[in-house]
Amino acid sequence: MLSSNLLDEIKRVVGIRVSLEGPSHWIVRGLIEDIDDYVVGCITMLLDEYLPDDIEYDVLEDKTLCDIDSSAKDCRDTLLIALYYRDDEKPFTYIVFNRRLGDNTYSLEFREVIQTS
């Protein structure tokens, strides 16, 4: 379980919102993919800097909030980052972002932190 100070710090650090809209064009789609890679990379760099050494994370590109809470509203268009203690296999916390990747629309916004233990 995260201390309330660390939990508040994580929320502050990853509390971002990025949005982009443009014409429906292959160049815009490429830009959206590049921006998504860059934003997720920046989030991981922030986590590297702020998380204690005994906590690791994993960006779960193949899972959504539906996989951990199927009753959650609007759970499909999400990005999960799982937090683990170094010697554990099971995450103790998930950082959840709303993420929309469209042909001409991109948005990523911090949603919540879910503690599992």
Output the pLDDT for position 105: 96
pTM: 0.92
29 falls in which pLDDT band (50, 70, 90)?
very high
Classify residue 106 by burial, with Cβ atoms within 10 Å: 0-12, 13-18, 19+: buried
In the block, residue with structure tokens 């660390």:
6
What's the pLDDT at 1? Answer: 67
* Residue (of 107, 55, 53, 106) closest to 81 by Cα position: 55
pLDDT in tens, 31-89: 999 999 999 999 999 999 999 999 999 999 999 999 999 999 999 999 999 999 998 99
Report the candidate in 101, 98, 111 with the shortest Cα–Cα distance to residue 34. Answer: 101
Domain boundaries, the chain: 4-115
